[in-house]
Amino acid sequence: MRDDYLLLILVPELIQVAQERYSILQQISELKPVGRHLLAVSTKLSEITIRTHLTIMKEQGLIEIHPSGITLSRKGETLLLSFFDALYKDPTVEEMEEELTKILSMEKVIVIKGDSNSSKDTQKNIGYQMAYELTRAIRDDSIVAVGGGPILSRMTELLPQLADSSSMKVTVVPVRGGFGAEIGYQANMIAAKTAKKLGGNYKLLHVPDGISPNLIRRIREEVPDTAEVESLIHRADVLAISIENARDMAKIHKLPLHVCERLHDEGVCGETLGLYADINGQIRYQMYNLGLSSDDLQSVSHVLIAAGGKNKGEAILAMARAGVRGVLITDEGAGKQILSLVKKQ
């Protein structure tokens, strides 16, 4: 039995206090700068309780109080991330984690309580866990490659501000070229924001997905900067990607109608890194692109994979069977769906 679970049984009131302070830190992180009244509303705690916690956290150097409102100190940002696993990782999901690790052949599976399809808190907590695992994986001179999408955008937002507080030299690059209409979810944007948070440098890849192999060759030959960025991508030792539903990504990638119809007929349900796979892990379609491919995954020391929600169960199972391996951060909704799918087969 885990030590933190024993602590919860023995001294439950301490866990409650810790959770209240953690919740306050979370809300300050998201709403900064914020006042006491709004903190009371957002955390559903009384203003007296809020005032007591803030006094103690200020003495501990976790928060800063300005005329414009309350913000987190660098120490507070780091503590917020580090304590997520201790406070919100439920020991009752350990059995599911072990079972999923075997079924999916992952290095490790981390299951967050809840279902991202119905809970924004669960979505946020997957982002917290991704941010936590990323900060644990990076080392001096790490090359970090990041993908696109909402969950990785959330991960970046939740990273602590390490700039000027860490001597590590980190380079962040996108795993692929840009895609999609929403710029905040593009890999280039996430790479730049991640680098800023980590106090590192970034290189961008200004080439969209889905271009022809001949054009890719010409770009490599005629645009030296692109070749330099691609070289960094292939040397990445930390990778953060997500697994998505094939139907959603087909729309974002703007695949031709006849391709979408074929993928539907062939039962394609999962996508990552431009690979589209069916439930058995067979790759049915692959987009041409500059950047990282599935063949590169084995050479990456730390692969972090995010996907949550009941509707991602099929996609996760498909991509795992297609050979996408690493540390998977998911939730109970997806986990239960995967176990149900495997049981039926």
Position of tokens 């959770």?
Answer: 19
Can you read off the two tokens belonging to residue 22? 């953690």
In order along its 345 residues, the chain shows pLDDT tens digits of 455 556 556 666 777 888 899 889 989 988 889 999 999 998 999 999 999 999 999 999 999 999 999 999 988 888 887 776 666 666 678 899 999 999 999 999 999 999 999 998 899 889 989 998 999 899 889 999 999 999 999 999 988 877 555 556 899 999 986 655 577 788 999 999 999 988 899 998 877 666 667 777 777 777 777 878 888 998 999 999 999 999 999 988 888 999 999 999 999 999 999 899 999 999 999 887 777 877 778 889 999 999 999 999 999 999 999 999 999 999 999 999 999 999 987
Helix (H) or strand (E) holding 164: none
pLDDT of residue 1: 45
pLDDT of residue 316: 98
CA separation, residue 165 to residues 2, 78, 155, 198, 209 (Å): 32, 11, 20, 9, 36
- CA dihedral for 27, 31, 32, 38, sign (positive or negative): negative
The pTM of this model reads 0.81
| pLDDT given at position 290 | 73
The gap from C-alpha 333 to its chain's centroid, in whole angstroms, comes to 17
CA distance 75 to 196: 17
Three-state secondary structure readout of 192-240:
HHHHHHHCCEECCCCCCCCCCHHHHHHHHHHCHHHHHHHHHHHCCCEEE
